[in-house]
Amino acid sequence: MCGIFAYLNYNVSRERRYILEVLFNGLRRLEYRGYDSSGIALDADFPSCASSAPAPAYAGAPPLVFRQEGKIESLVRSVYSEVDEKDVNLDTAFNVHAAIAHTRWATHGVPAPRNSHPQSSGAGDEFLVVHNGIITNYEVLKETLIRHGFTFESDTDTEVIPKLAKFVFDKLHDEEGDVTFSQVVMEVMRQLEGAYALIFKSPHYPNELIACKRGSTLILGVNELSGQNSGKPFQDVKALTTNGKPKELFFSSDLCAIVEHTKNYLAIEDNEIVHIKDGSVSILKFDHDKEKPASVQRALSVLEMEVEQIKKGSYDHFMQKEIHEQPHSLTTTMRGRLKDSGVLLGGLKEHIKTIRRSRRVVFIGCGTSYNAALAARPFMEELTGIPVTMEVASDLLDRQGPIYREDTAVFVSQSGETADTLLALDYALENGALCVGITNTVGSTLSRRTHCGVHINAGCEIGVASTKAYTSQIVAMAMLALAVGSDQISTQARREAIISGLSSLPSNASEVLKLDADMKELASSLIDSESLLVFGRGYNYATALEGALKVKEVALMHSEGMLAGEMKHGPLALVDENLPIIVIATRDACFSKQQSVIQQLLSRKGRLIVMCSEGDASAVCPSGSCRVIEVPDVADCLQPVINIIPLQLLAYHLTVLRGFDVDQPRNLAKSLIQHWTDTAHSPVPGSRLMDGRRGELVLTDHGGEEVWNSIASGAPDSRVKINLVIYNFVSYVGGV
C-alpha cells in the first residue's frame, strides 16, 4: 500500500517553506502505509532555477521534483540539502499553488529514487502522477507507448500513467487545439485497468490538480479560511469552493493526513474525477461505456475524529498508545448499540432476517482480522445455530472454494482495503452471497462494496500491528451474533449474560492493562529466546494465534499459536526446559483439559507461562513451577478480548527490548495490495470493476450507495446525497 497526498492553497499566500512542511507532514501521517521511498513535486520560480535546461513545451518553469529512497525523514533531509545546493528560495510566496506527494511501498521495482513517485511523463515533467494501487495492464500500455517513441526510466507500473497523459494531451492538442486537464485524465482512465487512486499535476495546467480513483480510497479535504463553514455539516462541495474565498484543498489516501487541517471532507467515489481549478472543485463521473461524463454534486461530511487520534501523545509508540486505548475503543464500538433487551446495529437492520435464513455464515479475512473472526466463530454458532466456516481470503481465492447464494459472507478488515479480502468479496458477490462488512474504516472499499455491515468505530489505528481493532472486531461480531440470534427464546438468558459482560468489558480492559509492568518484566526474561509457543483451545485458540502473530510481526521472534488439543500430535516433541510456552487456561468449558495439558508439559520439563483467571494460580499450577499471568474473569465467550491484551503488551515490550521498530516492522506495511501479473486471470480486471459500479448513477436518497448507518452512535447516517446532472462534455480521442 502507498500513500498519496496533495495540497492546493487558493487566494491565500503560502511560502514555499510552508508548502514543503505541509507535504512532509502529510507524508508523515501516511507513512504507516508504506515507507521504503517517497517524493514530492511543487512549483519552481519563474524563470526556471535550472536555466541550462532546454525550453519546456509550456509557459513557466518545470516543476521541482524530489524523490528519495528510505523513510520520509530521508526525503526531508535530501530536499533541504538540494534546495540549498540549487539555491531555491524557500521564502517565495504563492497566492495559489498545487503540490503533490507520495510515500511508497514497493510492488513493482526496488525502492530507489527512479521508482519513487511522482512518476513523470519525461523531459520537462509535463505530467506528474502519484499513485496508490496497481495498474494490471501496464505491460500492454508500456509496449504501446514505447512503439510511440516513449522511453521508460523506472520499473514501476505507474510510469505508464503520466506518459499516457502526455500522449493523450499531444494527440488532443494536435487534433482539437484546446484540451482541458479533465479531458486528458478521462482518456487516461479509459485505458487503465486495475485498482488505483491517482493525483495529476501538470505545468500545462498551472495551479490545477486532478484526482481520480477506482478501487483505492481517496479523500478530498476542504478548509475554508473565512471560517463561515465551520461546524455546519453536509455542505455542497461546489457551493463551498466556487465562492472565490481563500481556502486550502487537500487530497489524501486517508483521513489521518487531513484531520489537522480540516474536518470537512468528501470520500471520493470510484470513477469520479475531481478537478480543482481556480479554487473551485468540479466532479465528473467517468463511465467507460458513455461518451459524455456526468457532472456530480456531492456533499461534504464532517469528520468525527480528533487530532489527538493521530498523535502519539505521551506514548513512545502508536502500538503502545493503541493497546492502552482499548478501554475507550471498546466503549466507542458499543456506544449507542447495546440495549437492555438486545443490540441495535443500524447498518444491519434491513438484512438480519436474510442472515437468519442463511444456510451458513462464512467468515473471511486475513491476519489479525481472520483471528478476530475465529474468536467470534464459537459464539456466532452458539447464538444463531447457523454453521460457521472460516476462510483465509487468499486461500478461498486459491481454491475457488464454494460460496452459495444461501450463504452470508462476513468480511472482516480493519482497513477495509486489504487486496485479498476485497478480491474474496468480489468473488462472493459474483456467487450471489449476502456480503456483510466488519471494518474500522468508514468510506473504505469494503464498506462501499458490501451489502451491509458494522463499523467497529475503534478510532484511527496507525501502528502496523493491529491491536485495538482486534478487540473491537470481536465485540462487533459479538453484537452481530446477538442481533442475529435475538429471535431464539432458548438462548435469551445467555444473551443477557453476554450483553452484561459486554458492558463491563471496558473496565475489565483497564484492569488487565495494569499488567503492563509484569509483561515488560516477562519480556525481559524472553528477549534471548529464539522461539515462543502459545497454546490455546476453544474460545482462546484465536488468542493463541493472535498472540503469536503479534510477537512474530513486531518482535521478529519466531512464534506459533497452536491448538492445545493438537499438542500430542507433534508439537510435544519440541518441549524442553528452554523453549518458553504460554498456555491459556482461563475459566471456560475447556478448563480441565487445559489443566491436563499443563501437567503433561510440566512432566516434560516445559518452561511454562500460564494465563489463568484471577485467583486460579494454584489451580493451574499446583507445583508453583510456572510463571502465572492472572487476568480478570469475564463471560467465557468474551474472554479472548481480555486475554489478548497481556500478549499485546508482551509483544510490544519484547520489540522495544530487542531494539526493533515497533510501528513500522521490517517488511510490513499496514495493508497489503497484491500484484497480479496475469491480467487475463486477474480476479479483478479493471473492466469488471467498472461493470460492478454501473448502477451507481441511479438517484436515490442515499445516492445508490450502501451506507452503514452506524458511524458512531447507531444513529442513521444521512451523509450522502448525490444529484446527477448531465454535463455536455467535449468528445474524447480514441485509444492508444
- Active-site amino acid positions: 2
Span from 292-300, 361-369, 478-486, 645-653 in contact with ligand AGP (CB under 6 A):
361-369
Rounded CA separation 265/714 (Å): 21
Q: Which is nearer to ligand AGP, 551 or 635 (CB)?
A: 551
Distance CA 627, CA 532 (A): 14
Does 38 help bind ligand AGP (rule: CB under 6 A)?
A: no
Residue 381 CB-density burial (10 A; 0-12 exposed, 13-18 middle, 19+ buried):
middle
Least CB distance to ligand AGP at residue 284 (A): 30
**Contact, 465 vs 448, CB < 8 A?**
no
Print the binding letters for residues 546-585 with ligand AGP: x by CB under 6 A, - otherwise. Answer: -------x--------------------------------
Judged by DSSP in three states, 438 sits in strand
The nearest distance, CB 661 to ligand AGP, in angstroms, is 14
Q: Which is nearer to ligand AGP, 164 or 219 (CB)?
A: 219
User: d(Cα 69, Cα 50) in Å, to the nearest integer?
Assistant: 23
Region from 106-114, 338-346, 365-373, 591-599 binding ligand AGP, contact rule CB under 6 A: 365-373
| Distance of closest approach, residue 450 Cβ to ligand AGP, in angstroms | 13
Which of 450, 671, 709, 710 is close enough to bind ligand AGP by CB under 6 A? 671
Give all strands (DSSP E) within 16-166, no chain letters. Answer: 37-42, 64-69, 93-104, 119-120, 128-135
Shortest Cβ distance from residue 684 to ligand AGP (Å)? 16
- Find the part of the chain contacting ligand AGP (CB under 6 A) among 109-117, 378-386, 464-472, 682-690: 464-472
Report the residue from 310, 482, 526, 672 that binds ligand AGP according to the rule CB under 6 A. 672
Q: Which stretch binds ligand AGP (CB under 6 A): 136-144, 242-250, 366-374, 621-629?
A: 366-374
Which of 215, 367, 378, 640 is the binder for ligand AGP (CB under 6 A)?
A: 367
Window contacting ligand AGP (CB under 6 A); options: 256-264, 299-307, 459-467, 535-543: 459-467
Q: Could you say which of 369, 543, 594, 595 contacts ligand AGP (CB under 6 A)?
A: 369
First-to-last alpha carbon distance for the chain, in angstroms, is 28
Cβ distance to ligand AGP smaller for residue 365 or 703: 365
We find the least distance from the C-beta atom of residue 132 to ligand AGP, in angstroms, to be 15
User: How many Å apart are CA 407 and CA 434, to the nearest integer?
Assistant: 6
Which stretch, 202-210, 239-247, 313-321, 463-471, contacts ligand AGP (CB under 6 A)? 463-471
Site for ligand AGP contains 366 (CB under 6 A) = yes
Residue 281 or 372: the one with the smaller Cβ distance to ligand AGP is 372
Which of residues 132 and 271 has its CB atom nearest to ligand AGP in the complex? 132
Among 464, 545, 548, 597, the residue binding ligand AGP under the rule CB under 6 A is 464
421 vs 543, beta carbon nearer ligand AGP:
421
Tell me the residue number closest to ligand AGP, measured at CB.
367
Report how far residue 652's alpha carbon sits from residue 320's, in angstroms, rounded to the nearest whole number. Answer: 7
Contacts for 80 with CB less than 8 Å, ≥ 6 apart: none
The alpha carbon of 697 is separated from its chain's Cα centroid by a whole number of angstroms, namely: 26
Q: How far is the CB of 466 from ligand AGP (least distance, A)?
A: 4
> Residue 663 to residues 75, 320, 602, 635, 669: CA-CA distances in angstroms?
19, 9, 36, 32, 9
Nearer to ligand AGP, 404 or 660 (CB): 660
Binding flag, residue 655, ligand AGP (CB under 6 A): no
**Contacts with ligand AGP in 379-438 (CB under 6 A)?**
413-415, 418, 421
DSSP secondary structure code for residue 489 in this structure: G
The three grid cell numbers given for residue 541, joined into one nine-digit string: 485458540
Q: What is the DSSP string of 240-303?
A: HHSS---EEEEEESSGGGTTTT-SEEEEPPTTEEEEEETTEEEEEE--TT-SSPEEEE-B-EE-
| Cα(91)–Cα(423) distance, integer angstroms | 48
Number of residues counted as binding ligand AGP (CB under 6 A): 15
Provide the residue type at 410 as one letter: V
Beta-carbon contacts of 531 under 8 Å, excluding residues fewer than 6 positions away, are 557, 558, 559, 560, 579, 580
Give the whole-angstrom CA distance, residue 639 versus residue 378: 12
**Amino acid symbol at 465:** A
Residues in touch with ligand AGP (CB under 6 A): 366-369, 413-415, 418, 421, 464-466, 553, 671-672
